């Protein structure tokens, strides 16, 4: 059984880019006769809000999307909210620790920036870590530990490149060390997105991960974690982002991007779904259509391979 998911972060109102990813992931699974899972990625509790998680459910249902398992309806792999799954992340952390895959890092953000000679990092996570703390002696670690609680980093395997074929972006090759050793647990004890998403996808038997292309360069990290933890690697599919007329990623500055604003203003959901389908290449003109009407004709090959420039006021 094919199983896909949509996993929003409830750190703000759901916007057009989120909705498009949800729609495409939902259509992908429904067109294959698969199961669609909804998961709330609220691992960063400082930024997440319960009211935004509830609003996301309302917005998704208004768009005509449903799910087979989720935080509101449960399912065999519950809980579906990351803040309720900390024991699972702790178990995976201990497994990595026992394998010797982790090491303590005492660097501050300023230290990391000062050690960078070239960015070569992840677009979503800043410059690559230079490995400053990777080869500290036990004595050096003990001395630094007197002054700072360390984060724990995953040591990238020496000399290992990561090669995979993305279902939309095509063949991908990441050279050894891409992005640098990355944080698994922060100094304040918060587990990272990279660890939590890998554990969640494995626990929930996710076979297909369709998400935005801004997460494409996170994929090699997640593949390496799957290998280190002995987990199945899902198929990855990264869709190009929506950009505003200025060529930059669609954001609040472009106006009119919150789904709730369209819903509350009386916009018919079919109108918004039709616009999302049009900008995603699924239909040849922006016309009202329900999500369910798009299932039979859905084809990944129709989705553009480059970022899409949109003009929100013309929805």
Residue 105 assigned ligand-binding role = yes
Cα gap 195→202, rounded to integer Å: 11
Q: Which uninterrupted H or E stretch holds 226?
A: helix 219-229
DSSP assignments along 264-295, one per residue: HTT--HHHHHHHHHHHTTSSSS-----GGGGT
304: Cβ contacts below 8 Å, ≥ 6 apart: 240, 280, 281
- Cα 225 to chain centroid distance, Å, stands at 15
Residue 252 assigned ligand-binding role = yes
Residue 54 assigned ligand-binding role = no
CB atoms within 10 A of CB 114: 11
170: Cβ contacts below 8 Å, ≥ 6 apart: 305
In this structure, what are the phi and psi dihedrals at residue 282, rounded to the nearest 5 degrees? -85, -25
Residue 211 assigned ligand-binding role = yes
Cα gap 263→55, rounded to integer Å: 11
Task: Please tell me the number of Cα atoms within 13 Å of 199 on its side-chain side.
Answer: 26
Residue 226 assigned ligand-binding role = no
Cα gap 141→263, rounded to integer Å: 54
Residue 49 assigned ligand-binding role = no
Tokens 């609003």, residue located: 55
Residue 85 assigned ligand-binding role = no
Contacts 24+ apart (CB under 8 A), 94-97: 95/229, 96/154, 96/184, 96/225, 96/228, 96/229, 97/152
By CB neighbour count within 10 A (0-12 exposed, 13-18 middle, 19+ buried), where does 224 fall?
buried
Residue 5 assigned ligand-binding role = yes
Cα gap 66→200, rounded to integer Å: 20
Residue 89 assigned ligand-binding role = no
For the annotated binding site for L-glutamate, the residues are 5-9, 41, 193, 211
For the annotated binding site for Zn(2+), the residues are 105, 107, 129, 133
For the annotated binding site, the residues are 5-9, 41, 105, 107, 129, 133, 193, 211, 252
For the annotated binding site for ATP, the residues are 252
């Amino acid at each position: 059984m094919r199983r896909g998911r949509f996993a929003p972060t409830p750190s703000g109102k759901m916007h057009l880019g989120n909705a498009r990813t949800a729609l495409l992931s939902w259509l992908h699974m429904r067109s294959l006769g698969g199961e669609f899972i909804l998961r709330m990625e609220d691992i960063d509790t400082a930024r997440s809000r319960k009211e935004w998680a509830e609003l996301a459910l309302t917005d998704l249902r208004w768009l005509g999307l449903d799910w087979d398992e989720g935080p509101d309806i449960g399912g065999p792999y519950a809980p579906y909210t990351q803040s309720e799954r900390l024991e699972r992340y702790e178990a995976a952390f201990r497994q990595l620790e026992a394998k010797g895959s982790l090491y303590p890092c005492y660097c501050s953000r300023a230290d990391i920036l000062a050690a960078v000679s070239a960015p070569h990092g992840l677009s979503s996570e800043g410059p690559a870590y230079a490995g400053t703390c990777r080869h500290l002696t036990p004595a050096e670690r003990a001395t630094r530990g007197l002054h700072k609680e360390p984060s724990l980093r995953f040591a990238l395997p020496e000399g290992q490149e990561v090669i995979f074929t993305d279902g939309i972006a095509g063949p991908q090759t990441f050279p050894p060390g891409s992005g640098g050793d990355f944080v698994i647990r922060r100094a304040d004890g918060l587990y990272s997105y990279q660890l939590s998403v890998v554990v969640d996808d494995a626990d929930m038997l996710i076979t297909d991960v369709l998400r935005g292309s801004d997460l494409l360069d996170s994929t090699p990290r997640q593949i390496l974690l799957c290998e280190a933890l002995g987990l199945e690697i899902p198929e990855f599919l990264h869709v190009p982002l929506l950009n505003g007329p200025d060529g930059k990623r669609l954001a609040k500055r472009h106006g009119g991007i919150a789904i709730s604003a369209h819903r509350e203003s009386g916009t018919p959901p079919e109108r918004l779904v039709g616009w999302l389908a049009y900008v995603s290449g699924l239909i040849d003109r922006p016309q009202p259509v329900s999500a369910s009407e798009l299932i039979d004709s859905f084809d990944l090959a129709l989705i553009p391979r480059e970022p899409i420039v949109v003009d929100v006021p013309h929805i």
